[in-house]
Structure 1
Amino acid sequence: MNKRKSFKIFLVLAAILGIYKMADYYATDKISTYLKSQELSYDAISTNLLLGNVSLSNVITVKDSLHFKIEKIEIKGISYYQYLKNKSIHISDLKTINPKITGKITKKETDKEVEKESSKPKSLDLKIENIEFDNLEIDIIKSDRFPLIAKSIYFEINNFELDSTLNTSIPFLYSNIEASITDFEMQFSKVQKVKFSRLVFEKDHLSLDSVEIVPLKSRKTYIHDVSEEKELLTLFSKKIIFSNIQIEEKERLTFTSNDVLLEDVFFNLYLDATLLEHPNKRKDLYSKSLRDLPFGIDIKNLEIKNSELIYEEYTIKGNESGVLIFDNLNAQISNINNNSNKETKLTTAKIQSSFMKSSPLEIEWTFDINNKNDDFRIKGSLLDITSKNMSSFLLPTMNVKMDGFIDKMYFDFEGNDFASNGKLNLDFNNFNIKILDEEKNKKTVISWLANLFIRDSSKNGMVKVKIEKLERDQTKSFWNYFWKNIEKGLQKSLVS
């Protein structure tokens, strides 16, 4: 090859390299100008026009009162062909490394932002083969002025496609999502927060470790930080697992899971009923609450294993709180489905437990979520109930002490949102009632009169009674409604 030819080749290569460098510089400048227009700052930018790659380091931006800081953003495989031909953006990979979100969300700013976004024409066609957020940290104040913290979030979505023509609740398509969150905390009131140590979502499987609802106030002081009478909650679950999850757009956005497992759950409810009045607000039955969810739900089977529920009520000042304990609690609930076209109508819950650590309790409860009358049936049995078990709640809350035994109790109630009917079969013996004054001394005359009305049959044998047209107090829960049926049956069984 002669020198002249070699020189020409060199000139051509130099020209190509120069044009490339100019184009690369031009592209970098255009990207920089655009980023500045978006009020986004960074320390350095790197582009590779040939491969369609862009890299930014130490990126900072502010959106309203939220601050975003990202150690590095990597964009790879930008398709010039798709942009020039179809005016669409196609990217192979988008990755953010060590992003952090701090600041606060205010309600007014959020509403303004929604209004702004809704006024913009949605014409962007965006496809990204792989999106990855690595080690995202969140430390913000929500619009309710309570904090939300997540120490580390990993999130990956494959074949992401934003399509402005989609008329669905989820305005994008994807083939797979994987995510994990560690050390999550969110306060939702002045007196409570929820937290978990780890969440993992892979394909169609979700698991949460060490889920807790934590009181932020003591039992003595919490009632001063709530606007109406309500329980202080404490919950711990070792493990919660959702299997075969699907999120679909049917008549509405619908969450589906074949199996849900809650394992080793401890749930404590404490009510201070000495200070505030019971709120005069309607409490829906579970069927209506599920029916009125803003999204569809279809859980084939939900299982609770090896758990404990404790309800405590402080009713009379100076007394201890009344206590009800349900331990060794296991439950199987099937067909939690608010789809109006579902094949199986009834939701069925089967519950097994020990009442006050000694009395076997079994319950079968059925209802139809889509039944507008909220019809239900609850039946079961409670065996070997001692006077100590009965008095543990009645003595502190009502100054009533009972002596004797209930060997067998069988109940079967049917009802709806308005009233219930049913029957209670009771086998008890050696039963008497003691009504105590405030100093815990027996009110002899009143107790003697009360025991005059105890049925003679209470000494031996089975008593069978019917409960008819018991009206529901719609400001109280389903379980209060259930207890009122039991209470009515006990009254009819014991009093002649």
Structure 2
Amino acid sequence: MSVRIKPMYWSQNKQKRVLVSIFIFLGMFLFLAQWGAKYAVKDFLARKTPPHLELNYTDLSVSAFSGTIDFDGLSLEVKNRDSLQVHTFLKSESLELEGLSYLQLLFNNTISLDAVVLQQPKLKYYPYNYFPTKKAKSKGVVSLLKTISIEKLDIKDGSFHIMKDAPDSLQVSITNYDFTFYGGITDPKLITQKIPLEYDSYDLSATEIFADLGKYETLKVANLTTSENEFQLNDVNLSSKYGKEELSKHLTIERDYVQLQIPEVKLGNLAFGFEKNRFEIAAKSLKFKRPTVEIYRDKLVADDMRIKPLYGKLLRDMPLTIAVDQLKIENGLLTYEEKVDEQQEAGKLSFEELNAELNYISNREDAKDINIAATTKLMGQADFKLDWRFNANDNADAFTVSGVLLNLKATELNPFLEPNLRTRAKGSVDEMYFTVSGNSFSSQGDMKMKYHDFKFNVLDKDRLKINKVLTVIGNIFVNDGSKTEADGFRYGTMEVQRESNKSFYNYLWLNIRDGMISTLTGNGKKEN
């Protein structure tokens, strides 16, 4: 019996052929897997994209083994469900879906992704082309059959535009923004909600934010950033679209010309969402640093006779809930000008070094009293302090206001008194204290003043000369401060019926004016 031994080279060739076959098989498998995955994605999008969404792209690549899907030249049109008229356009340089979990897809009916990266998305929304479905319950943007979980969504170098009433007019725009949120999830139920997802946290930075606030004002913000507990805006500018004189030409009833600039706004612990189907915004703190406000009122324009609600009612009637634990204004400046005569310059008041703290600003059902404490220098030299308290849920709009004015030289008020009241004052108010209690209909209070050498000069109509007759008559009734109680003060009272077509500040001024008249012209004695 003999044994035939195969040559060694035959065994080696067989091994090579087996290896080559394995590599060919693997290559074919990879090719088929890639082709199959790409085909499956295309087929899924073709079958599952609803009719009111039109999705296009220039190229699609799929890595079946890493679970990555890349779209290049992505575009999306969102249409009305009924008319199919396009109201939203999205174009993006690329969209990358990373880390698709097959196990989650197969066993938990969940599309789970490690990351979604959107490069340079440009979104435009045309609200005048949007017509909501007549069905009572919203279906959301899309209908879902699966849960979608995204560990990280990263939008880079995006832009956002809401058009106003024509293709070339802007309502809201953000020139550039980067946005990232973490731990995002939605499902067939969440997608139909007003906020169609849940998330753990987010980061946002944006530049050149613009909003058209209507016929007369615009809002601009240079940049916006967020961190874990803070929301910051820089160079906030709310301004009238027209100059002071030009604005009056566009008005049929009076409206203030406004220029507001705030170099820095900070919100701490900002949170928002829906509570009992009502949108709510809450923050632990809100801070305005170095705001400047310029207000100009042309009294030659017809009065606006509409009722002006007090601030409590304004808060009650808001379409959303707000809750800010503390608001601070640091080192602000407020100037107010009022023009009452065509031939005269507008009278001007200024409140410099304005600092204020407002606590518990809220219209929640269990809201506490809103407390406001402000200090400023009237006309840059007299110390003025104001304390104000009211509750947004009080239907009577009850309030209390108390104030202190120290070291006012009456001549500092002449730039406002001369053009507006045809009056020139002299003398000094050393101390003035007042307290007002009231509601939306009437108010009452008391005042005490310590002053000296106080006199008024009434001016002629052209405000160039003193009307001696009226001046003499007026000063007969005005005590110059020499007749006081033992403590050096003169006392007065106030009682005012509110003019409902005027602002709260007009209401407050009427009380102060009434108290001053009582103090200057009354017997000056303190009522028991």
TM-score by length of 1: 0.90
The aligned length equals: 490
Considering only aligned residues, what root-mean-square deviation do their CA atoms show, in Å?
2.7
Match of 2:138, SS state, is helix
Give the drift of 1:362. 1.0
What's the secondary structure of 1:465's corresponding residue? strand
2:29 to 2, 13, 16: 16
Displacement of 1:347: 1.7
Please state how far the C-alpha of 1:123 moved relative to its aligned partner: 4.5
Q: Which residue of 2 aligns with 1:298?
A: 323
Cα deviation for residue 9 of structure 1 reads 3.0
Q: Does 1:148 align with 2:191?
A: no
Do the aligned partners of residues 105 and 10 (structure 1) sit closer, same or farther apart at CA in structure 2, a change above 3 Å counting? closer
Partner of 1:129: 151
Letter in 2 for 1:351: A
**1:216 corresponding residue in structure 2:** 241
Aligned pair in 2 of structure 1 residues 110, 280: CA closer, same or farther (>3 Å)?
farther
- Describe the shift of the 1:245–1:39 C-alpha distance in structure 2 as closer, same or farther (beyond 3 A): closer
2:417 corresponding residue in structure 1: 394
Question: Which residue matches 2:341?
Answer: 316
Query: Displacement of 1:393 after TM fit?
Result: 1.6
Which amino acid in the other structure matches residue 503 of structure 2? S
On the 8 A contact 2:58/2:73 being kept in 1, the answer is yes
Of the three residues 13, 18, 42, the one matched with 2:57 is 42
Instruction: Give the deviation of 1:385 after TM superposition.
Output: 1.8
1:155-212 CA-partner distances (Å, limit 9, x unpaired)? 1111111234359653321100110111212221333211121111122211111111
Q: Secondary structure at the match of 1:439?
A: coil
Asked whether 1:368 is paired with 2:391, we answer yes
CA contact (8 A) 1:431 1:459 kept: no
Q: Percent identity?
A: 24
Shift of 1:116: 10
Amino acid at match of 2:244: R
Equivalent residue number for residue 256 of structure 1: 282
Mark the CA change 1:446 to 1:7 in structure 2 (over 3 Å): closer, same or farther: closer
How far is the alpha carbon of 1:355 from its aligned partner?
0.3
CA contact (8 A) 1:169 1:253 kept: no
Q: State the distance in 1 between where 2:69 and 2:134 align.
A: 30
Aligned to 1:242: 267
Indicate conservation of the 8 Å contact 2:452/2:480, yes or no: no
Matched, 1:96 2:123: no
Q: 2:220 aligns with which of 191, 195, 212?
A: 195
CA distance in 2, matches of 1:117, 1:61: 24
Pairwise CA distance, 1:379: 0.6
Contact 2:112 2:150 in 1 (8 A): yes
Task: Note the 1:374-389 alignment, pairs <5 A.
Answer: 374-389=397-412
The one-character-per-residue Cα deviations of 1:113-136 (angstroms, maximum 9, x if unpaired) are 696982578545322221111111
Q: How does 1:400-419 map to 2 (within 5 A)?
A: 400-419=423-442
1:265 Cα deviation from its structure 2 partner: 0.9
CA distance in 1, matches of 2:123, 2:31: 41
| Partner residue in 1 for 2:89 | 67
Q: Which letter maps to 1:326?
A: F
Q: Which of 1 and 2 has greater Rg?
A: 2
The answer to whether 1:52 aligns with 2:67 is: yes
Contact 1:157 1:174 in 2 (8 A): yes
TM-score (norm 2): 0.85
Which of 141, 161, 178 does residue 185 from structure 2 map onto?
Answer: 161
**Unaligned 5+ runs, structure 1:** none
Query: Distance between the aligned counterparts of 1:434 and 1:184, measured in 2?
Result: 51
| Stretch of structure 1 that moved more, 293-302 or 192-201 | 293-302
Question: Contact between 1:190 and 1:226, CA under 8 Å: does it hold in 2?
Answer: no
Give deviations 1:246-269, integer Å, cap 9, x for gaps: 335545443332222211111111
Q: Distance in 2 between matches of 1:11 and 1:154?
A: 45
2:126 to 105, 109, 121: 105
Q: Any conservation in 1 of the 2:116–2:153 contact (CA below 8 Å)?
A: yes
The code of the aligned residue for 1:191 comes to Y
Do the aligned partners of residues 208 and 428 (structure 1) sit closer, same or farther apart at CA in structure 2, a change above 3 Å counting?
same
CA distance in 1, matches of 2:195, 2:76: 26
Assess if the C-alpha contact under 8 Å between 1:430 and 1:459 holds in 2: no
Q: Mean Cα displacement is larger for which, 41-50 or 450-459?
A: 450-459
The AA in structure 1 aligned to 2:515 is G
Q: What CA distance in whole angstroms lies between the structure 1 residues aligned with 2:396 and 2:372?
A: 19
Work out the CA distance in 2 between the residues paired with 1:68 and 1:123: 20
Amino acid at match of 2:424: K
**2: CA distance between counterparts of 1:23 and 1:61?**
25
1:455-494 to structure 2, matched below 5 A, reads 455=479, 461-468=488-495, 470-494=496-520
Secondary structure of 1:112's counterpart equals: coil
Secondary structure at the residue paired with 1:334?
Answer: strand
Structure 2 residue matching 1:173: 3-state secondary structure: coil
Aligned residues of 1:431 and 1:458 also touching (Cα < 8 A)? no
CA distance 1:482–1:17, change in 2 (3 Å): same
Q: Which has the higher mean CA deviation after the structures are superposed, 42-51 or 120-129? A: 120-129
